[in-house]
Chains A and B, each alone.
Chain A
Amino acid sequence: MGPNRAKLARGFHLLTLLVLLFLCGCATSQPEIPAMRPVSEYVKPDVTYPIDVYDPLEKFNRGVYRFNYYFDKYLFLPVTNVYETITPDPVEDRVSNFFANVRQLFTLANCVLQLKPECAADTVGRIIVNTTLGIGGLWDPATTMGIRRHNEDFGQTLGHYGVGNGPYLMLPIFGPSNLRDTTGLVTDTVAFSLLDPFNFEHNEELGMAYVGLYAVDARHRVEFRYYETGSPFEYELVRLLYTKYRQLEIEK
């Protein structure tokens, strides 16, 4: 007990020091001339503002948001552009279809976890049709046949059973998320590597190629560019729309 308690005490002191340092950092006061429309007057505590999202880690998140901009600019987008230049459009679509078909495995598992039989049946149908007729998922005859496409993940499953958003999180590379959805993302990913449908365990190069192409295809499909929305409140608007979007996906 003794040494443990000492360790705890040391940890506590360290934590206090960090908090103090942090507070000092915040306290560098600037001489402030109140604005004509000051926040103190125009923002009312009794009014609900849709733009408010629980974001206790905002400073960290904004830092990551900025990192993502640079990551996009210097690596992700150039690589994606090269991919788009050298790959004919029909091939790009085959790649997108392939990964979409693989992702249906996550959807299927989460349909089952949420006890949604219709969703599970549709998804099984899609996987079978697209994997066989669609030649390993490269084509999407299931959509042509009118089999509905669902999108479920473990974050939605948690939400379905009442788990709240938790703090908003801006993830490096992946983009907007929150504690619940990040937990979901990690769980889905772990489950996928345990399941290992492509036997990446014994084929590491293939695994790397898969992850790389997956990321490039994902970026290829998303039009969003950091800091190009034309709004000085882009961070807030992205945060709001992500949160609302997930809420609606869960309610579905």
Chain B
Amino acid sequence: MEEIRAGVQAVRTDRLTVKSLMRLWLLLVLTVCLLLPAPAKAKPYDYPFDNAYAATIIGTPADLKAELPKKIREKELKLALPEGKQIRKLFWYEKAFRYSLAYQKEKAPLIFVVAGTGAGFKSPKMQILKRAFFQAGFHVVSLASPTIENFIVTASSTGMPGSLEDDSADLYRVMAHIWDDIQKRVEVSEFFLTGYSLGGAQAAFISKLDDEQQLFNFRKVLMINPPLSLYSSVRILDAMLQDNIPGGPGNFSEFFDRLMAKFSEVYQESDDVAFNAEFLYRVYEKNQPSDADMKALIGTAFRISAGNMIFTADAVNNAGYILPKDLKLSSTDSTTDYAKVAFRTTFVEYFDELFLPFFQSREPGLTRQELIDRQSLVSIEPYLVKAKKIGMFHNADDVIMAPGELQYLIRIFGPRATIYPTGGHCGNMDYRENVADMIYFFLQ
């Protein structure tokens, strides 16, 4: 402000000399550059929520959503288990890796879509991406996040989700097997790849793997709202629950009852019951809660995803973390007490108590900081700088980013980063303009 005032003063005294005009111009440009953390978008952006937590929870109001087809041509498919893969009896119902293929009748580009933390291939956000790409003429393969039970049990090589490198390698292997299975069914012109949230970060790692192995030679790759550092983002999400329940997480029950009192309206209008984190998001749509309440809700949704993941990783590895080692549970034994423990376990506790020892036993001498650093896009920064086919969509107010992290990503991607001023974490994914931009990114 001081500078602007000085500039205006200068104009007045020098009476519109060319020099003063130039000085004012430079000042203005400088101020604008300082105020905007991101490359400016030319047109105004009218996504309706300024509050990033509300955006994250609510998403996009129905009348502002992109118009997407309700019924599409698709099949739910299964991938045979790798040979010799044993599945623990506790997970008797997980018989194969499940995914979906939406297909065109004629030759078309094929896009792989990777889900975010805790989301399956049929989750609401995956439906958005699938329908948008199908409508734009792509074949679409929808892949569950490596953090979800079906993936951990049937497709993970470690059974210990959270390692960007390992999980992405698992995804890549799954994609190769899927391609083996479906190439008789669909005619493909070229390959594309995208993912949102954690799936966005994994897309970058998969792209790097594919540049080495050259199986798909993706023409373009889009990362949507990826974390810069997985560890940093899960710390933020852990804290949202830990710090925002009045009286601490021990009082969760009261918070939950208060939340339940607001459930009613939402239940009246929704027939479907998908009991995942994203279901919880929908419940708050009708209310005007405080930021603390919204943080607690986002934290709760994340905690449910994390608890599911942690217990599954523990059981698959027979690690004796929450489920006693070698304990055989039958399909009629109660797991409620383990659920209580799992839902009280933070992601960071999982990282320190299960994840870190697991990778240290595979790689003696590995330090905690090294393992944290590996779960960051910084670890493949040189690749990201030169991989011109990779683009990134992000939001200036994404709630999973620590201060400075988005700026870091913008420095890496330069003009390949598109930053929307609002939208929270993935809240604007099906906003009309975003869908149009996304399709344009792949078709240009």
Contact = CB atoms under 8 A, between A and B. Distances in A.
30 contacts: A32-B327, A34-B324, A35-B324, A37-B321, A37-B322, A39-B337, A39-B341, A43-B340, A49-B340, A51-B336, A58-B334, A59-B332, A62-B331, A62-B333, A62-B334, A222-B271, A227-B93, A229-B276, A230-B144, A230-B149, A230-B150, A232-B91, A232-B149, A232-B308, A232-B315, A233-B339, A234-B275, A237-B275, A245-B267, A248-B264
Given A59-B333, A229-B120, 5 more contacts: A38-B324, A224-B273, A230-B276, A233-B338, A234-B275
A33 B260 CA distance: 38
A233 B312 CA distance: 10
B71 A89 contact: yes
Contacts of B275: 229, 231, 234, 237-238, 241
A32 B263 contact: no
Q: Is the interface of A mostly helix, strand, loop or mixed?
A: loop
A99 interface: no
A31 B320 CA distance: 13
A36 B350 CA distance: 11
Contact of A49 (B93, B149, B253, B327): B253
Contacts of B71: 89
Contacts of B343: 51
B323 A36 contact: no
A42 interface: yes
Given A233-B339, A251-B264, A42 B344 contact: yes
B351 to A, nearest CB: 14
B260 A48 contact: no
A56 B337 CA distance: 14
A236 interface: yes
Given A58-B334, A223-B274, A229-B274, A50 B253 contact: yes
A76 interface: no
A52 interface: yes
Contact of B322 (A35, A60, A226): A35
A231 B308 contact: yes
A43 B353 CA distance: 18
Given A37-B322, A248-B263, A233 B341 contact: no
Interface in A8-37: 30-37
A125 B359 CA distance: 66
Interface of B: 71, 90-91, 93-94, 98, 118-120, 122, 144, 148-150, 250, 252-253, 256-257, 260, 263-264, 267, 271-276, 304, 307-308, 311-312, 315, 320-328, 331-345, 353
A173 to B, nearest CB: 17
A7 interface: no
Contacts of A228: 98, 120, 122, 150
Interface in A194-223: 221-223
A235 interface: yes
A147 to B, nearest CB: 15
Contacts of B256: 50
A63 B340 contact: no
Given A37-B341, A227-B93, A232 B335 contact: yes
B322 A223 contact: no
Identify the interface centre among A42, A230, A232, A251: most chain B CB within 10 Å of its CB. A230
Given A236-B335, A248-B267, A33 B253 contact: no
Across the A-B interface, the 3 shortest Cβ-Cβ residue pairs: A227-B93, A48-B253, A223-B272
Contacts of A235: 335
B276 A43 contact: no
Nearest to B262: A248
Interface residues of A, number: 51
Given A34-B324, A36-B321, A228-B120, A222 B273 contact: yes
B304 A39 contact: no
A30 B326 CA distance: 9
Identify the interface centre among A34, A36, A60, A251: most chain B CB within 10 Å of its CB. A36
B273 A223 contact: yes
B117 to A, nearest CB: 11
A9 B375 CA distance: 69
Contacts of A237: 275
A47 interface: yes
A30 B150 contact: no
Contacts of B333: 59, 62
A244 interface: yes
Contact of A39 (B320, B340, B345): B340
Contact of B312 (A69, A89, A232, A236): A232
Nearest to A221: B271
A248 B266 CA distance: 11
Nearest to A66: B331
Nearest to B331: A66
A69 B331 CA distance: 12
B308 to A, nearest CB: 4
Contacts of A227: 93-94
A50 B252 contact: yes
Nearest to B328: A30
A30 B272 contact: no
B38 to A, nearest CB: 34
Nearest to A150: B268
Contacts of A5: none
A30 B267 contact: no
A69 B337 CA distance: 23
Contacts of A60: 332
Contact of B325 (A35, A42, A234, A241): A35
A38 B343 CA distance: 13
Nearest to A33: B325
A77 B219 CA distance: 39
Interface string A66-81: 1001000000000000
